[in-house]
Each structure stands twice: as C-alpha cells, then as structure tokens.
Chains A and B, each alone.
Chain A
Amino acid sequence: MSLNKSALAFAGILLATTALGTGAALAQAKVAIVTPYMAQPGTQFYVEAFQAVAAENDWDVNVIDTAGDVAAVISRIEDLVVQNVDAIVINVDPTQVTAGLQAAKDAGIPVFGMDAGADPLLVTNVTSNGYAMAAETSTYVADRIKGEGNVVMFVFDAFPPVQVRGVVADAVFGNFPDINVLDRVTPDVSDGGIADSRAKMEAILAANPEPGSIKAVWAAWDQPALGALQAIEDAGRSGEGIVITGIDANPQAREAIAAGGNFEASVAQDFAGIGATTAEAVARVLAGEEILQSVTYVPTKLVTVANAAE
C-alpha cells in the first residue's frame, strides 16, 4: 500500500523534474547566473536585464540563487562545469569562490563578473565606475559653490570601492585654489553610518558657527550625507544654502533630494545596464571575440531634484 504510494510520489516528483528541466533544445547556448544575493533589490535588476538580452540571443539561462550561501556558489559552479555550460556569470566576491573559478578555468568555461569585483580568473567584471561617480558629485559641488568656500568631506578609505571615490573628490577640490577642505571625516559605520555622521557634523557646525563658513558637504556615499542633512536641519542652519551630495541614490537619499532641501545630488548606478552589458559581454565571447578589459564600466546617472522621483 504505502510502497505504491511512495513509489507513485517519487515517480511524480521525478516526472515533474523532467518536465521542468528539459525545456531546452540542444543547440541553445547554456548560460548560468550564480548569486547568493538574489534577495537584494539591485541583483534582481541585473538578472532581469540580463535575461532580456539572453532571450534575444535565444540562450538557455539557468539562474541559481544559493540564498546567502557562498560555499554553495562554488558547489554550483562545479556542477555547471561538469555539465559543461557555455558561460557562467557570478554576482559574488570572486576571491571567495576561487575554487569554483579555477575549476571553470581548467575546463575552459568563461566566467563573467556582474558587479562582482575584478579577478584574473574572470573574463571581465561589469560594474559602475566609482571614479566617475565621485567626479560627478564633486564637480557638482565645486560648480554650485562657484569654486570657493569651505567643504566638509565624508570618506571611508578602509573600503576600496569607497576609497577611490574620495581620491577623485580630493583631486577635484584640490584643483580649485579657493576651495578649502575644512575636514575629511571618516564616520563610524557600525550603526549604518547615519547616526555617527550626524554627530560628527554637529560638532563641525558647532565649531564653525558663522553663516557661510561651511559651503558644502561632499559624502562618498548616501548615509553620511543624510546624517549631515539631519545635523544641519536640527541646528537651524538649513537656510544657509549648504550644498550636500551623496553617492548611490538609495531610496532615502532620493526622497531627501526630491524634497528640495540641502541634499541636492547623488549618483545612481544603472543596475539594469550592468545586467545587459554583462549579457552583451557573454555574447561577444560566445561569438569568439576576446575581451581585453578586466573591468567593463557602465555609465552612472546624476540624480538631482529634476529626476529624483523617477
């Protein structure tokens, strides 16, 4: 009785699997995306845009979400290598999955990074240009304050992707003889970065009570910009025209920019563009082309009150 039942159930599961797994024709290129971070909003944009390009190319795309498990990313890459797929796309720090990347390289399967980090084992990593993003906001600040006055910088040099932003802003402000960097603050980020940035900004405001003594706050990412905004508003100094910029254009930052206060600009990464560009890189390699750049940059977009609500 129950042998029949369980045998039936097993058969049912296996049949269902067959139906699910064998939709692909033989001639299609097999491409797999492996990520532990599918639940993060940016990742979904990458994957959807990737799949749109993949559909045009008639690829058989297998999206594998290991739900936060990085070791499972290695395991799934190993499975894909055994399966001999045509290309693999990862969205995880490549230094953590070297074992899998090496297996793919040994089998001659190209692996692409989709905002993953540069690595010799990747054909190319497609991402936003941190230097360019910082150039957008620092030139915005310099132009808005007409090239003169005191600027407060919020930086974080311990984290390489944020460190490069600070380098560019240093160069831009240094190129204006009348811009003086009043303070180069590294906030404590253990609480998310807003609260400590606010406290640091309050101290700087207290030390510079004269209206106009601070012209702008340039932050290497949005959280310190939001903290600085809170400090300026609470100190009753939002009327002084202090210009604040961030980077990343997270929802809270967009809201603040759209409100039309001191927080004037941030930079949005083009997640869909990263996904589509990754797919295009895969298409080029599948067509036999060699990609020389180890990093492929996708343009970013300045967000101001004009487009913050988009």
Chain B
Amino acid sequence: MQLFIRRYGTLIGFVAILIFFSVMLPGTFPTARNWLNITQQTSMLMVVAAGMTIVMVMGDFDLSVGSAASLAGIVAALMMAAGQPIWAAVAVALLVGLLGGAFNGAMVSLVGILPFIATLATMTMFSGIAFVVSGGKTISGRAIPEDFGNFARGGIPLGEWGGVAISLPNLSIIAIVVVLAVWVLLEQTTYGRRLYAIGGNMEAAHLSGIAVKRLRLIAFSLTGLAAAAGGLMYASRVASANPVQGSGLMLNAIAAVFLGTTMSRHGEPRILATVVGVIVLGVLDNGLTQMSVDSYVRQVLVGALILLAVAASSVTQGRR
C-alpha cells in the first residue's frame, strides 16, 4: 500500500487536478483545443526538461539551461537580423548550445567541479555573453524574418472540433520528437543504462569499466543542445529575442523532473515521468488562469503542490 502511494500519489494528484478543472470548467478545460494549447504552451519547457532529465539521471544538475536558452535565441536572432538564412541561424544557435553544454561537461567531468557550482558559474557566463552580444537589447520586429515567427504559430490541421478549426502545433510536434529521442536514448540504449548506473553509484560504475568522464561530458552536451532548442522555440513563439527570456525555464525544468521522480520506483528521473511533471505545471497555469485565480496565488499553489508531491513520496520512503 505504502509503495503504491509513493509511486502513484503524484499521478493520483494529477488525475484529481484534471477532474477538478474539468468539473469547474466543463465547457473549456476538457476540450481538444485547450489541450492542444497546453501542449504548445508547455513545449519549450518540455524540451528543456527532457534535456535536464539526462543529467539528472546521473544525479547531476544543470543550472545554466535557462541562460543557454536565452543565448541561443539571441545568437539566432542576431544572425537573422544580419541577413543570414533561418536554417543557418538555427544551426549555429544549436551548436552554441551543444558547445556550452560540452563546456559544462568538461568542467564537471574533466576538471571535477561540482555540477551545482560549475553550472552556476556558466549560467552567469552564458547570460553575460547574451547581454554582451545583444547589447542588452530585445531583437524584435522587422529584424526577425516572418517565417521564423510564423513557425511557432503554424501546425498540422486536425479538422474541426465543436465548430473550431484545430491543429497540432509545430512546437508541440518538436516537443514530442525530442521526448521520443530522449526516451530511446535513456530507456533503449546501453548509453542510457550506463547513465543510470552512474546515477546509482558513480564509483561502482567507474570500477565496472564505464567511461564515466566521457559519458558525463556527452550528457551535459545533450542537455545544452536541448536548452538551445527550447530557447529557439521560445524565440520563435515571441518572434523576438532578449538576453533574459529563457531564465524562467531552469527552475521549472528542475521542478518538473523532481515531480517526475516522485513517480519512479527508486526516485530516479524517468523521461515519461518528467513529461507528466511538465504537464502538471502547464495544466495548473492553464486551469488556474481560466478560473481567474490571482497570478501570485497561482505561484504559491504551484510551489505548495511540488512540496506536497515530494513530501508525500519522501515521507513514505522514510517509513519504509
């Protein structure tokens, strides 16, 4: 029974939230259009959180994802403003994310700095670089090609639902693809299993012949790449870039992964659990906005819910 609650308490809570909003907002919450909105609204966080899951599997953190996301958006926007094609701007921005992540990985695995400290430092560095290259300005308006902003507004038409045309947003599709890729990586490959082994016991993993340093370096690189992808999605959604716009993603990504860990057997991060964590956060924002709950009260409720979920899971764990 205890085990059941520990593993499924968060899921039960999630279902309770869904039922609650569906009862309170019967005409608007449980509609296809609203759910497609939610998948689009959470898509950027989904991608960043999926990347965060990779390093958190090893018990590591990456605090720099928000800054990396901002930097990627700025790099792409500056290139587009300078007349470069969109594909080149996107490719270079993703490369910046990958290299930034690799730098994190090098600091953590090769130099041996604690991830918390290393990525705290790079968080500041990436943010500083974003300010330096952009001059602190928001790049928007005609500097951003229309096609770049239109991408986030487009989608694949799914037909009509209650007289309203609905479509699967492009951003949601990207999020689904990234989640699938991370799922394959973590759950279906030797690489993924080795990351879990490192998370279980790094020393033992090392002694059993796993190339811990190399694997950690790659994991941090992938997290940086995902952060850059999330930053580009954000930039496309707002058709602009400023040097701080991704900063909110970091804490939410970590919160989503933590919410997810309350659903796994040993409290380890699992990508599908992270997906539920992200959706919980997105649903709360969406439902509480529709119920006209004050935005500051909403923040308190979201924080309380995270505490509650993690507490419920750790209390039962402690008693075991």
* A and B bind: yes
Interface residues of A (CB under 8 A from B): 2-3, 5-7, 9-10, 13-14, 16-18, 20-22, 24, 30, 32, 60, 62-72, 74-76, 78-80, 82-84, 93, 95-99, 102, 190
Of the residues A16, A62, A68, A102, contact of B153 by C-beta under 8 Å: A102
In the complex, the answer to whether B297 meets A20 with C-beta atoms within 8 Å is yes
In the complex, the answer to whether B295 meets A99 with C-beta atoms within 8 Å is no
In the complex, the answer to whether B136 meets A190 with C-beta atoms within 8 Å is yes
Q: Mark B1-18, 1 if CB is under 8 A from A, else 0.
A: 110010001001100110
Determine how close the nearest CB of chain B comes to the CB of A81; give it in whole angstroms: 9
Report Cα–Cα, A292/B63, bound state, in Å: 49
Determine how close the nearest CB of chain A comes to the CB of B131; give it in whole angstroms: 10
Known contacts A9-B308, A82-B34; decide if A99 and B289 are in contact (CB<8 Å): no
In the complex, the answer to whether B153 meets A99 with C-beta atoms within 8 Å is yes
Report Cα–Cα, A82/B296, bound state, in Å: 21
Residues of A within 8 A of B291 (CB): 17, 20-22
Interface stretch (choices B106-114, B213-221, B236-244) = B236-244
**Which applies to chain B's interface (DSSP): helix, strand, loop or mixed?**
helix
Q: Which B residues between 282 and 320 are near A, CB-CB below 8 angstroms?
A: 285-286, 288-297, 301, 304-305, 308, 312, 315-316
Residues of A within 8 A of B12 (CB): 7
In the complex, the answer to whether B37 meets A79 with C-beta atoms within 8 Å is yes
Q: Which residue of A lies closest to B144 (CB)?
A: A95
Of the residues B41, B135, B293, contact of A78 by C-beta under 8 Å: B41
Determine how close the nearest CB of chain B comes to the CB of A29; give it in whole angstroms: 13
Q: Which B residues between 260 and 287 are near A, CB-CB below 8 angstroms?
A: 285-286
Of the residues B1, B20, B135, contact of A14 by C-beta under 8 Å: B20
Residues of A within 8 A of B234 (CB): 71
Of the residues B136, B240, B290, contact of A70 by C-beta under 8 Å: B240
Report Cα–Cα, A37/B294, bound state, in Å: 15
Determine how close the nearest CB of chain A comes to the CB of B273; give it in whole angstroms: 17
Of the residues A2, A64, A69, contact of B289 by C-beta under 8 Å: A64
Residues of A within 8 A of B301 (CB): 13, 16-17
B59 contacts the other chain (Cβ, under 8 Å)? no
B201 contacts the other chain (Cβ, under 8 Å)? no
Report Cα–Cα, A217/B255, bound state, in Å: 53
Known contacts A70-B245, A99-B153; decide if A83 and B290 are in contact (CB<8 Å): yes
Residue contacts A-B, CB under 8 angstroms, 9 given: A3-B5, A14-B20, A17-B301, A20-B297, A32-B292, A70-B240, A74-B238, A75-B286, A78-B41
B31 contacts the other chain (Cβ, under 8 Å)? yes
In the complex, the answer to whether B294 meets A20 with C-beta atoms within 8 Å is yes
Residues of B within 8 A of A5 (CB): 312
Residues of B within 8 A of A68 (CB): 244, 247-248
In the complex, the answer to whether B152 meets A99 with C-beta atoms within 8 Å is yes
Report Cα–Cα, A233/B245, bound state, in Å: 40
In addition to A22-B24, A63-B295, A96-B138, 15 A-B residue pairs with Cβ atoms within 8 Å of each other are: A2-B5, A17-B288, A17-B301, A20-B297, A62-B289, A67-B248, A70-B238, A70-B240, A71-B238, A72-B41, A74-B238, A76-B289, A83-B289, A98-B153, A99-B239
Determine how close the nearest CB of chain B comes to the CB of A121; give it in whole angstroms: 12
In the complex, the answer to whether A96 meets B239 with C-beta atoms within 8 Å is yes
Report Cα–Cα, A181/B145, bound state, in Å: 39
Report Cα–Cα, A148/B301, bound state, in Å: 64
Q: Mark B30-46, 1 if CB is under 8 A from A, else 0.
A: 01011001001100100
B149 contacts the other chain (Cβ, under 8 Å)? yes
B140 contacts the other chain (Cβ, under 8 Å)? yes
In the complex, the answer to whether A64 meets B295 with C-beta atoms within 8 Å is yes
Report Cα–Cα, A168/B5, bound state, in Å: 70
Residues of A within 8 A of B34 (CB): 79, 82
Most buried by B among A30, A71, A95, A98: A71
Report Cα–Cα, A210/B136, bound state, in Å: 39
Q: Which B residues between 131 and 174 are near A, CB-CB below 8 angstroms?
A: 135-136, 138, 140-141, 149, 152-153
